[in-house]
Amino acid sequence: MKSRRAFLQQGTLCLAGLADGPAMAADSGARPLLRVGLMTDLHYADKEPTKTRFYREALAKLDEAVATMNRERPALVVELGDFIDQADSVEQEIEWLQTMESHFARLDMPRHYVLGNHCVGTLTKAEFARHTRATGGHASVEAGGITFLLLDACFRSDGVAYERKNFNWRDANLPPAELAWLDSELAKASGPVIVLTHQRLDGDAAHDVKNAADVRARLEKSGKVLAVFQGHAHRNDYQQIAGIHYTSLVAMVEGSGAENSGYSLLDVLADGSLRLTGFRRQEDREFGVGRVTN
């Protein structure tokens, strides 16, 4: 099987046309060929804080992140799930979602959404999509020679989609139809792939997709996946498995005040390496090009 390094060296990272792309911050090093904004777990709700979660403050935290993205001008921005928290009624949930969407829509570039379990705790996936620009499920997005695969693990083990409080959040799965779609998208990708998901794929028992090992095997077999970025656990975390970088991003809802937030800019460099520049509590990371030898 072709290694990721060989895959890149043979010219499939066709990003040269972006050389005049987004400007870099002054101290951020080499100019990227592609830049993407990432954020996760805002959990907006018009309700009182519970323990460490300050739901109303998500609006101000989102506004700061949007202003940063508009200044730095990534090609796109992706929110990795739990955009809103769960309400007691569909009507209340839609109102909260519309409020958040009105702030998120201030982005000057395309915006995308990964579904989190709280996004569909009260709503259906179709209702969430109707009031945002979300697809309502998994999606493939191409930018600058990179394929971004947005996964939807909001399914029970029996294949039933999450909605209307019909699930246990620990029972997250990619159903057979989505696995077949994943195989197809990986096969037809002509360049490197980055996977974006809410629930984790790297073996965190409490926050993992239940069939994560099967998903990882498919990513590894393709030889094309550079990295996976995920939310759900609310903390900074990282590990490398079979040459693929798995990074968990910090939640924006945790803690009061602007300093207790976190979002990031992901830069893809010419050699296929990646650089994550974190803001507030999000950690910076640099990723070399992984290798698959099988």
Rg for the chain, CA atoms, rounded: 18
Would you state the pLDDT for residue 4? 59
What Å distances lie between residue 142 and 4, 117, 185, 229, 247, CA to CA?
18, 25, 11, 16, 21
Q: How many CA atoms lie within 13 A of 77 on its CB side?
A: 26
Domain 4-287 has CATH 3.40.630.30: no
Give dist(CA 171, CA 189) in Å, integer: 30
DSSP state letters, 202-258? S--TTTB-TTHHHHHHHHHHHT-EEEEEE-SS-S-EEEEETTEEEEEPPPSSBSSST
Give dist(CA 157, CA 176) in Å, integer: 10
Would you state the pLDDT for residue 105? 98
Strand partners, 266: 36, 276
Q: Which residues of 199-212 are buried (b: 16+ CB within 10 A; e: fewer)?
A: bbbbebeebbbbbb
Chain centroid to Cα 195, Å, comes to: 8
Report angle CA 84, 238, 58 to the nearest 5 degrees.
20
Would you state the pLDDT for residue 17? 32
- List average pLDDT for each run of 10 residues in the chain, which is 294 residues long: 53 37 43 94 98 97 98 98 97 98 98 98 98 97 97 98 97 98 98 97 92 98 97 97 97 98 96 95 89 32
- Tell me the pTM: 0.91
Going from N- to C-terminal start, the domains of the chain cover: 4-287
Residue 1 CB-density burial (10 A; 0-12 exposed, 13-18 middle, 19+ buried): exposed
Would you state the pLDDT for residue 7? 54
Give dist(CA 149, CA 258) in Å, integer: 30
Strand partners, 35: 267
Is the distance from CB of 69 to CB of 55 less than 8 angstroms? no
